[in-house]
Amino acid sequence: MGHGPSGETWSVQRWRSRSQVSNLKYPEDYSRRQQEVAGWPCTIETYKLGDIYHCTIANVDPGARIARADGSTREVAEAQALEKAARYLGQTRRFPVD
């Protein structure tokens, strides 16, 4: 294993040039809401990153991600994610609690 000039085995760049910082993309048009999907309470998060909308659907209680999708508009991304989530949650078995 080679060592760097300072004797360290690895180094971390601790600063970023202005051009690197200006190229970073930040989420825009963020929304978060709760909705029931196939009988399960879910959280739907949607945001725009660059020119693409991203949608994530998660179960409310454990917070496990169920489905996600990307699209050119918010409506397309959410429709695709909701379709996947409904399909997956529709296959989930529920056991009665006594």
6-30 residue pLDDT tens: 666 655 555 555 555 567 788 999 9
Is residue 34 a part of any domain in this protein?
Answer: yes
Q: Which domain holds residue 65?
A: 27-90
Number of domains in the chain: 1
- What value does the mean pLDDT take over residues 21-46? 90
pLDDT band of residue 75 (cuts 50, 70, 90) is very high
pLDDT band of residue 93 (cuts 50, 70, 90) is confident
Q: What is the pTM of this model?
A: 0.72
Q: What is the DSSP letter of 68?
A: E
How many angstroms separate the Cα of 8 from the Cα of each of 1, 2, 4, 23, 71?
A: 11, 9, 5, 30, 44
Is residue 37 a part of any domain in this protein?
Answer: yes
Q: Identify the CATH number of the domain in which residue 67 sits.
A: 3.30.67
Is residue 20 a part of any domain in this protein?
Answer: no
Is residue 17 a part of any domain in this protein?
Answer: no
Is residue 47 a part of any domain in this protein?
Answer: yes
Positions of E strands within the chain: 28-37, 40-49, 52-59, 65-71
CA distance 64 to 33: 15
Task: Using alpha carbons, select from 85, 72, 94 the residue that is nearest to residue 44.
Answer: 85
